[in-house]
A and B are shown apart, each in its own frame.
Chain A
Amino acid sequence: MRRKFVWLAVFAAFALIASACGGDDEVDVSDFRVAIVAPSASNDLAFTQSIVDAVAAMGISPAVTDGTFVVEDAAAAIRGYAAEGYDLVIAHGSQYGGSLEEIAQEFPEVAFAWGTAADTFGLDNVYAYEAASDEGGYVMGVMAAELSQTGNIGVVGPIEVGDAKLYVDGFLAGARSGGANATPSYTGSFSDVALASETAQAFASQDVDVLSGTAQMVVGAVGVANDEGILWFGTQANQTELAPDIVVASQVYHWEVVLEDIIAKVQDGQLGGETYKITLDNGGLVIEYNDAFDLPSDVKDKADEAIEGIKDGSISTS
């Protein structure tokens, strides 16, 4: 028995010595250190990619912990970055909010940003940001209705929550305002590419000729759209590359628009307490068209009309 403890002690000693030999942390540093914690992969062409691209677009090389769908692990990462003295820790996941509320109180000198959300918990070191994805959804829905020859439109969604629901509802509203028959279908998962693909097939069998969808699994649906000659509208990132023949446009999230303001404020000393929304109006949401797609000018005009209507408030997207 005693020998066992000797071995455990040896192991523990080794561990302590090894940890003492750690050395300082030196990640890629600009003079403003940003860390991002996000739930899916940085190259998912969707949610996570949008924030990583945004920070990179500002010339900052962030420390990134991606693929953190386990909420407890994400909390550990957020706390870890805060403890290492990052200037801004971006918690890019709606499910991280509850943990962030506690962590932010422990680190009052660190600025946190939480997305997609609208709650800063009344704390003065938390910013919240969200996307009015229903706006771009509406505009593209309008275009979809114009472009559709059969009048049948489909939307492939993951689970009816958060940002996904917002986008789907906006797109449906836009399509229906144009007189189309638009239907949503939620697969029940954010990552099941096969189900997304089959949903698209099911839509195809019902004479749908324009599709849209959100979440990283839609890459499967885009593939089917490409095969069947169905037009596609994307969101969160520019999806033209996936199928240059049939992607009409994508609503791209340009978080830089709000990040610039947040970072400026943090550098000025205000660590939080405000909520932000990227919209068509402030340029955070941009409809990026596929140049290779021959979009009739009257459809583009309708889209611009819708954009103006949303900006001046005359159109409601719900």
Chain B
Amino acid sequence: MSELFTQSAIIAVVAGGIRLAVPLLIASLGETYGQRSGVLNLGVDGIMLLGAFGGYYAVLKTGSPWIGLMVGVAVGIIMGLVSALMAVTLKAVQGISGIGVFLFGLGMSDLLFQKWVGTPRPITKFPKLDVPGLSDIPWLGEMLFQHSVVIYVAFAAIPFSMWVINKTTFGMNIRAVGENPEAADSLGVSVPRIRWATVTIGGTLAGVAGAILAIDLGIFQQNITNAQGFIAIALVYFGAWRPLGIMLGSLLYGLINALVLQMKVLEIIPPDWSDIAAMTPAVITILALVVVASRFQPPSALTKPFTRGA
């Protein structure tokens, strides 16, 4: 056990935890916008997969991770619009419509990968950025400031989202629509328009999360997300629909995963227990929520389609 508390191990765990947390963070943040306005989108994993393939393919063809990221954005926007169409205009039952998007994304990304790419080939990853000055701090420098560029941007999205949701009119409208759509409607806020916007934002961020996942791994595989999209949805509840909570939740999940992996590498966890160990992030997340929860209420209109005059 003493090997775990060495400098290299601790730094590796924190850095690894941050890397694992980022796709979850972004996708979860996106889903938060939608849920805050009252829409549950279960299709996040499917959108992530499509974004991952789109990003991967773009980088494979152009050699530029940034173009890959943009394709991830584009795919996310398209799938976000589709999800919005289903959930807001067609008033599909939330909680089921997303499953279709999930299955479609899973199958389509694999199909395109098999037909357009064939054997997996590695791609260029995002450049790493050592933050000048800060990256030289002992311990913290390596943990926090020597990451790939997108990771910094992802974490910047947290305070940005906090500002949007809490300080802008748009954010106020989102919250109003999520809590009391009838009242918001009577005050002139277009409920469908707000929800279209938030669900599309959610889809966009899911696409981005997928693209970042694939590009930072430098490869694509069938089912590359391995159901992380669902974890991201779960984390929205963990984070109580607040960006800061989302960040803490994703970091918790990522850090525990990284810790478990490090313990396996250090042979603290023997191979016999590797499955039990793989459960721990999930179990700890539930336990953490038991301790923390019931302080926060969900948006009152969550999962309820809105009809004026209904």
Contacts and interface: CB of A to CB of B under 8 A. Distances in A.
Q: Do A and B touch (CB < 8 Å)?
A: yes
Interface of A: 40-45, 49, 67, 154, 157, 159-160, 183-189, 191-195, 197-199, 201-207, 216-217, 219-220, 222-223, 226-227, 241-243
Contacts of B16: 198, 201-202
A197 B213 CA distance: 11
Contacts of B266: 183, 206
Nearest to A160: B271
Contacts of A202: 12-13, 16, 258, 261-262, 264-265
A97 B274 CA distance: 25
Given A44-B221, A220-B217, A194 B8 contact: no
B202 to A, nearest CB: 21
Interface in B223-270: 223-224, 226, 228, 257-258, 261-262, 264-267
Given A41-B110, A226-B218, 13 more contacts: A43-B113, A159-B275, A160-B274, A186-B274, A191-B221, A191-B222, A193-B219, A194-B228, A198-B258, A204-B12, A205-B9, A222-B122, A226-B122
A183 B265 contact: yes
Contacts of B113: 41, 43
Most buried by B among A42, A154, A202, A207: A202
A185 B275 CA distance: 11
Contacts of B20: 194, 198
Contact of B224 (A67, A160, A193, A227): A193
A160 B11 CA distance: 28
A185 B261 contact: yes
Nearest to B224: A193
B265 A188 contact: no
A45 B119 contact: yes
A194 B213 contact: yes
A198 B257 contact: yes
A73 to B, nearest CB: 14
Interface residues of B, number: 44
15 contacts: A41-B110, A43-B113, A49-B119, A186-B274, A188-B275, A193-B221, A195-B261, A198-B258, A199-B264, A219-B120, A219-B219, A222-B122, A222-B219, A223-B122, A223-B219
B93 interface: no
Contact of B122 (A41, A43, A160, A242): A242
A68 to B, nearest CB: 12
Given A186-B274, A198-B257, A202-B258, A193 B267 contact: no
A128 to B, nearest CB: 26
Given A198-B257, A202-B12, A202-B16, A67 B219 contact: no
A241 B60 CA distance: 14
B19 interface: yes
A67 B222 contact: yes
B308 interface: no
Contacts of A193: 217, 219, 221, 224, 226
A220 B224 CA distance: 10
B222 A185 contact: no
Given A45-B120, A205-B11, A185 B218 contact: no
Contacts of B122: 219, 222-223, 226, 242-243
A223 B265 contact: no
Chain B CB within 10 Å — which of A184, A194, A206, A207 has the most? A194
Contacts of B11: 205
Interface string B117-137: 111111001000000000000
Contacts of A198: 16, 19-20, 257-258, 261
A33 B121 CA distance: 31
A312 to B, nearest CB: 31
Contact of A43 (B114, B258, B267): B114
B112 interface: no
B278 interface: yes
Contacts of B261: 185, 187, 195, 198-199, 202
Contacts of B258: 198, 202
A185 B265 contact: yes
